[in-house]
Structure 1
Amino acid sequence: MEIKHLIGSMALGFLITGIAMKACTSDISTSLTIENLKCEYLINPTGIDVSQPRLSWELKSKEEGQGQIAYQILMASDSIALSCDMSDIWDSGRVKSNRSDQIVFRGRELQSLQSYYWKVRVWDINGDLSDWSPIQHWSFGLLDKAEWRAGRMTP
């Protein structure tokens, strides 16, 4: 009897998870896709030491003459929350710009030895909104020389 209850609970959990994941996605479409997201020129870098990292992405489209007129960056300390568009670190809001290279981070103060997750979406020249990019991440090394003590890290 206990195994049936456990299996039933697991099935319910999978159903709820599936519904939540569907609720976190959208049916927005444009001909633009966002690829090759980078932080400080690297894909998913580890141990960066820049307190205001620069972010970049590439746009792809099968439609000739298509481009970006605005972007929005979301950043969070948790990838699961970010997958549901919840951001506790930075929400750039809609930024009118065709730039997709070396966008300087302007969110909350970042901490040494932490990982951060980000994604971006863009508006195309027709004003249509793209899907979110895949979630990318980076982690920090030590951001301040004072955090190094006697050859050891002390965050």
Structure 2
Amino acid sequence: MGNRESRKRPHERLDVWQDAMTLVELAYRFSSTFPDTERFGLTAQLRRAAVSVPSNIAEGAARRSTREYVRFLSHARGSLSELDTQRQLALRLGLAPPLSALEEAIDRVFAKLTALMNALDASASMPSSTASDDSRFPIPDSRHSHAR
């Protein structure tokens, strides 16, 4: 039966999804220091926004059209912006010490999401003989490897 690497789903091969999964781990560590009074407030909201990022990337990669894929990547980017806002609120409220790794991960995922969205938009605008809106391949060609 082949190894796990050869059986990965399309989203699992995306660098942006892998980075987003690391982002979730960092967000959980960051919010683990919040007081118990925030368990159902900022802690839950921050974690939900973090989990939404790789979840939307995965859901978009499973869609049949480039338009839908980009829409889910846009949702992921929106959740990423929510997460960053919640991180900044936590810092302003003194709920956690700064975690530069989280801020760096947010910046990295945002840049990769934007690059992937741009690459998909560019491939979708190509003449129909070279690009199809029904493409099931979420990974852009090697000219756009920075997005993977």
Question: What TM-score comes out, normalization by structure 2 length?
Answer: 0.27
More strand by share: 1
> Larger relative contact order (C-alpha < 8 A, sep ≥ 6)?
2
More helix by share: 2
